[in-house]
């Protein structure tokens, strides 16, 4: 009996896998510290929950138009105008079951077999797999300290071919936390224009930015970039709504129509109750969100300070999102309890086994020299986890 080659060629999500593993251990009574999944530990703001309850009580529990209720698409257009100075009409918006589905729709709408998509590494785990599922080829562009872990013209020129169809920009980035400046985006927008590429801009961490950095959407760089960009965003991170599953996309009308058509067969509309809650989220007060960002910033600063004091460890300083990429390269070839560490997977497995701390191996992000720690967890847990990591690395022998 044969199975789909495409399905067998897909690696399950490592971020979700680690989280499940940590949860299972915790349910079994093990005192696990999880730096695994990237999801805010805050509860969804009360006014959003109340809007969902009201929607249910009012019977808003039926199918809605596939791309989403008009009220929500209008609220999304308003958000783009206010936050990003971008003008969209509701026909350009498609609401989906999480930004993940938006990305899947986008790749399916634009790719033909063999089309290449430029992805910078370290990358978020799902990009290559979603591209493969849509019959495309992910082309991994390795970035480093020198390029500030971002695309630049030199790198793009090196990897572009006549099969390149699209480029993914993820700013703020998961997992590095890097943020593109307007100037850097201008260079990429011009490159995309010259080569005729579609830009997929994943802006899900837009609201989670620290210090002086500012979020700029590449769609707002020029009239041309507006037309060629598919903007992806969602409520998971900005409003602590991961489980509600709501993402949205803004694009050229033709692409939006294709995405809605695909979705009409795969899942129909995003959850109706969530859509009404999303209207309340986008139109409502942002105080909870501001407090959440302040708290993330405190945790980020604390983590960076602690990691800077750890022997043989360095990290990429994040300006946004809620992850720290910790470089563990110096431990490769060394051992703990007779077990040699040769890569990020072994490091993570041993850390979980010995000290009960869950981190995500960088291998899943195309960056085996790193492990990713999420600081979307309480300060007490962060302290406890970092104490354990310190203890762990002290035990590693040369």
Positions that interact with ligand PMP (CB under 6 A): 38, 98-100, 124, 170, 174, 202, 204, 234, 236, 242, 247
Helices (H), the chain: 5-8, 14-27, 46-57, 70-84, 98-110, 126-133, 153-159, 182-195, 223-228, 253-266, 272-283, 287-308, 344-355, 379-395
16 binds, among ligand GLU, ligand PMP, none (CB under 5 to 8 A by kind): ligand GLU
CA 10 to chain centre: 18
389 binds, among ligand GLU, ligand PMP, none (CB under 5 to 8 A by kind): none
Rounded CA gap, 396 and 391, in Å?
A: 9
Our CB check for ligand GLU shows the closer of 126 and 225 to be: 126
The phi, psi pair for 327, rounded to 5°, reads -85, 125
Q: State yes or no: residue 13 binds ligand GLU (CB under 6 A).
A: yes
Give min distance, CB of 124 to ligand GLU, in A: 6
The helix or strand, by DSSP H or E, that contains position 137, with its residue range, turns out to be strand 137-142
Q: State yes or no: residue 361 binds ligand GLU (CB under 6 A).
A: no
Rounded CA gap, 255 and 267, in Å?
A: 18
CA 210 to chain centre: 17
* Identified binder of ligand GLU from the candidate list 10, 16, 53, 266, rule CB under 6 A: 16
Instruction: Kindly determine how many residues on this chain lie close enough to bind ligand GLU according to the rule CB under 6 A.
Output: 10
Q: State yes or no: residue 229 binds ligand GLU (CB under 6 A).
A: no
Q: State yes or no: residue 234 binds ligand GLU (CB under 6 A).
A: no
Rounded CA gap, 81 and 87, in Å?
A: 6
DSSP state of 341: P
Our CB check for ligand PMP shows the closer of 164 and 171 to be: 171
Q: State yes or no: residue 174 binds ligand GLU (CB under 6 A).
A: yes
377 binds, among ligand PMP, ligand GLU, none (CB under 5 to 8 A by kind): none
Instruction: Give the residue nearest to ligand GLU (CB).
Output: 38
Our CB check for ligand PMP shows the closer of 202 and 288 to be: 202
Our CB check for ligand GLU shows the closer of 39 and 184 to be: 39
Say whether 248 sits in a helix, a strand or coil: strand
Stretch that binds ligand GLU, among 54-62, 122-130, 266-274, 296-304 (CB under 6 A): 122-130
Number of CB atoms found within 10 A of residue 282's CB: 22
């Amino acid at each position: 009996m044969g199975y789909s080659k495409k399905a067998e060629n897909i690696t399950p999500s490592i971020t979700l896998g680690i989280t499940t593993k940590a949860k299972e251990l915790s349910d079994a009574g093990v005192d696990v510290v999880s730096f695994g999944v990237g999801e805010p530990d805050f509860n969804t703001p009360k006014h959003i929950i109340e809007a969902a309850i009201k929607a249910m009580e009012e019977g808003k529990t039926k199918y809605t138009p596939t791309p989403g209720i008009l009220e929500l698409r209008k609220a999304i257009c308003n958000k783009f105008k206010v936050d990003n100075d971008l003008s969209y009409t509701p026909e350009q918006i498609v609401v989906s079951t999480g930004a993940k589905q938006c990305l899947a729709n986008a790749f399916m709408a634009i790719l033909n077999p063999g089309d290449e998509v430029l992805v910078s590494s370290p990358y978020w785990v799902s990009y290559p797999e979603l591209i493969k599922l849509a019959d495309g080829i992910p082309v991994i562009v390795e970035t480093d300290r020198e390029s500030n872990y971002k695309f630049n013209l030199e790198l793009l020129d090196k990897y572009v071919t006549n099969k390149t169809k699209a480029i993914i920009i993820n700013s703020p980035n998961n997992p590095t936390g890097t943020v593109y400046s307007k100037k850097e985006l201008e260079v990429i927008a011009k490159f995309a224009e010259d080569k005729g590429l579609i830009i997929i801009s994943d802006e899900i961490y837009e609201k989670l930015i620290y210090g002086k950095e500012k979020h700029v959407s590449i769609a707002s760089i020029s009239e041309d970039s507006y037309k060629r960009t598919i903007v992806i965003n969602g409520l998971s991170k900005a409003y602590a709504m991961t489980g509600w599953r709501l993402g949205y996309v803004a694009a050229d009308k033709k692409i939006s129509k294709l995405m809605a058509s695909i979705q009409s067969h795969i899942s129909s509309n995003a959850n109706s109750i969530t859509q009404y809650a999303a209207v309340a989220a986008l139109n409502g007060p942002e105080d909870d969100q501001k407090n959440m960002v302040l708290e993330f910033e405190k945790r980020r600063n604390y983590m960076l300070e602690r990691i800077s004091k750890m022997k043989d460890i360095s990290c990429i300083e994040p300006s946004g999102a809620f992850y720290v990429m910790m470089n563990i390269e110096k431990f490769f070839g060394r051992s703990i309890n007779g077990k040699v560490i040769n890569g990020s997977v072994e490091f993570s497995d041993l850390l979980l086994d010995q000290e009960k701390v869950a981190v995500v191996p960088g291998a899943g992000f195309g960056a085996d020299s790193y492990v990713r720690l999420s600081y979307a967890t309480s300060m007490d847990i962060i302290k406890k986890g970092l104490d354990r990591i310190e203890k762990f690395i002290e035990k590693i022998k040369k």
